[in-house]
Amino acid sequence: MTAQPIRKPVVLAGVATAILLAASHAGATSINQNVAWTIDRPDSTTQFRIVAYGDSIFAGYKGAISEVAIWAAPSVDGDYASHLWGTDVKIFRRTKSGALASEIYNDKIVGEQKYMETADTRVVAIEMCGNDGLRARRNLDDQNGTCDYGPLDAALADCTQYQQQAMVFINANANPATELKVISNLYYPGYDADNVFTVCTDQATGQPVNKQDIFLPTLLRMNWRACNFAHQYGFQCADSFAQFMGADYDSNGDGRIDSRALRYRQGESEDAYVTRLGTTLRSTIRDPNTHFVSAQRSYDYILSDDVHPTYQGGTVNLGLLGGSGKGTSGPRFSDDKYVRGKNRIWRKFGHERMGWAISKFNPPTP
């Protein structure tokens, strides 16, 4: 269901988007952007379900309230699952763009638990906390005088609380036939743009602080906790930070491909993880607007808003002010076009990379 370029709705949607973004800047609003997409194989009459709860990342937000990308990461995962299982797959993206972790937990995971309770559910995926971090960053941008890091500390605390609660709730409510529960951690949008100094000054030094130096450790702690909770509660952790922020070759000569070296390691302490990525391997972290797949070739993983992932394919209409949309398509690639479990565009777009990272954990049979 690709949205048609109708002039009047596009103009109004742009106005509505501006209103949403302005309100979001004030920390006031979020909007439902739900999609139910079915991958219908001509050789199958059996269907299984993937349920994904999250914010604008899983929504496939692309700059408008009225339409989102069809092939956001959860749908990409569904395409891989359909190829792997040889069945039809229906992907339910129950998402709220602009939502904090508390809203994802309360309004989507708890409020819409019925989507994961059905007997055909095989995968439940979640992502959250990005808006908690973005709002804390905007708060720091607006500060004068002495910097107040309280909102950043609160964002980390809320992220920690609701990531854990989400996993506990999903374990208690997902259908017993569910084969995979997975969380995607956070990449760092605006990494290069944050390499500037604040207007406010640090209380201890009396000097402005580099925003990147402030935000990176907090984001890394969010990510370590996501993956550590995943291990505790029987989830898998799709490491989107490593997939987006590290090149697919060895840029520093340490004998390891950057995107692999940046991965979470089970058993490593939180402080050791933050030091390894934030100090030891800091030079290999790169803005995902230029994701290098080799020393000579790169792809843009982030849209022009410097927040949301790039995507391949069309869009699905949600209505003028957001809401829900649905559609059906066949598999995007024939089964013989997958090489070592990857489609031919797996690392060309941000959503493709995230969807592939989730799909690595898909069970071999449903």
pLDDT of residue 27 exceeding 70 = no
Q: Which amino acid is at 255?
A: G
- Residue 249 pLDDT grade (very low, low, confident, very high; cuts 50, 70, 90): very high
Pairing status of strand 291-292 against strand 197-201: unpaired
Pairing status of strand 88-97 against strand 197-201: unpaired
Instruction: For tokens 């013989």, name the residue.
Output: 336
pLDDT of residue 123 exceeding 60 = yes
Report helix, strand or coil for 300.
Answer: coil
pLDDT of residue 29: 80
Query: Is the model more confident about 320 or about 66?
Result: 66
Residues sharing a CB contact under 8 Å with residue 200, sequence separation 6 or more, in sequence order: 140, 143, 144, 145, 146, 147, 148, 208, 209
Give residue limits of the domains in the chain: 7-359
pLDDT of residue 125: 99
Mean pLDDT rounded to a whole number for the chain: 93
- Residue 17 pLDDT grade (very low, low, confident, very high; cuts 50, 70, 90): very low
pLDDT of residue 6 exceeding 60 = no
pLDDT of residue 46 exceeding 60 = yes
- Residue 349 pLDDT grade (very low, low, confident, very high; cuts 50, 70, 90): very high
Report helix, strand or coil for 22.
Answer: helix
* % the chain with pLDDT above 90: 92
> What is the per-residue burial (b if ≥16 Cβ within 10 Å, else e) of 238-253?
bbbbbbbbbbbeebee
Name the DSSP letter for residue 65.
S
Q: Are 351 and 59 in contact (CB under 8 A)?
A: no
pLDDT of residue 151 exceeding 80 = yes
pLDDT of residue 235: 98
- Return the closest-CA partner of residue 69 out of 365, 364, 346, 316: 316
The two structure tokens encoding residue 146 = 């002495």
- Residue 18 pLDDT grade (very low, low, confident, very high; cuts 50, 70, 90): very low
Report helix, strand or coil for 157.
Answer: helix
Q: Are 242 and 262 in contact (CB under 8 A)?
A: yes
Distance CA 236, CA 309 (A): 21
Strand order in the sheet with 236-238: 236-238, 180-184, 121-126, 47-54, 88-97, 31-39, 323-329
- Domain 7-359 indexed as CATH 3.40.50.1110: yes
Weakest-pLDDT range from 12-16, 220-224, 257-261: 12-16
pLDDT of residue 198 exceeding 50 = yes
Q: What is the rounded average pLDDT of the residues 207-233? A: 98
Q: Phi and psi at residue 91, in whole multiples of 5°? A: -105, 120
**HSE (CB half, 13 Å, CA atoms) of 264?**
27
pLDDT of residue 138 exceeding 70 = yes
- Residue 223 pLDDT grade (very low, low, confident, very high; cuts 50, 70, 90): very high
Q: Are 55 and 101 in contact (CB under 8 A)?
A: no
Q: What is the rounded average pLDDT of the residues 259-266? A: 98
pLDDT of residue 361: 98
- Burial class from Cβ neighbours inside 10 Å (0-12, 13-18, 19+) for residue 6 reads exposed
Q: Which amino acid is at 86?
A: G
pLDDT of residue 21 exceeding 60 = no
Q: Are 69 and 315 in contact (CB under 8 A)?
A: yes
Spell out where 195-308 has E strands: 197-201, 208-210, 236-238, 291-292, 298-299
- Residue 4 pLDDT grade (very low, low, confident, very high; cuts 50, 70, 90): very low
pLDDT of residue 107: 98
Q: What is the rounded average pLDDT of the residues 153-176? A: 98
pLDDT of residue 25 exceeding 50 = no
Distance CA 24, CA 30 (A): 7
Task: Determine the straight-line distance between the first and last CA of the chain, rounded to whole angstroms.
Answer: 27
Q: What is the rounded average pLDDT of the residues 11-36? A: 53
